[in-house]
Amino acid sequence: MAPKLDAGGGGGGYPNNLPHQVGGKEVTMDHDTLKDVARKLRDDLNQLKGLRYKEDIDDYSPNLSDIGDYSAGQGLHNTVTSAQNSIGTTYQQFITAYEQVIQAIERSEQNVRNADDASAAGARARGRVD
């Protein structure tokens, strides 16, 4: 077992907030559960993308000609355009981050599966497991 990190942040060990072996218990991951979580999140993400929120903001925002070509109208148009761009950018950042979380879960599941398969193959090669 890796030693705990000291309060000074010295090298080696594991952070206090991560699971570790305690009393001989192992941390395990269920491959199917991880795949199911990733699938459900991806389905949710695809539904969000299908709602076209960003496109709707673009489609339903007023043009300068809709507001009026005078200084107060131009100011309002600039404010609306700025808000539209900010909302659109924030939404796209959320979608990107959500996608990255899903990809990380998928990679974790595959990495754990590969490690488990390699471990089982090594044990079989030594004649310990059928």
Q: Domain-by-domain residue ranges, the chain?
A: 31-117
Determine the 3-state secondary structure of 110 from DSSP.
helix
Reported residue count of the chain is 130
* Residue 99 binned pLDDT confidence (cut-offs 50, 70, 90): very high
Global pTM reads 0.66
- The count of other CB atoms within 10 Å of the CB of residue 101 is 13
Distance from C-alpha of 65 to C-alpha of 62, rounded to nearest angstrom: 8
> What is 9-74 written as a DSSP string?
--SSSB-TTS---BTTBPP---HHHHHHHHHHHHHHHHHHHHTTHHHHHHHHSPPHHHH-SSHHHH
pLDDT of residue 102: 97
Tokens (6 digits) for 20 = 């570790």
pLDDT of residue 5: 47
Give the mean model confidence (pLDDT) for residues 31-52: 92
Q: Tell me what percent of the residues of the chain surpass a pLDDT of 70.
A: 77
The residues, any chain, with a CB within 8 Å of residue 120's CB and separated by 6 or more, are 129
pLDDT of residue 2: 47
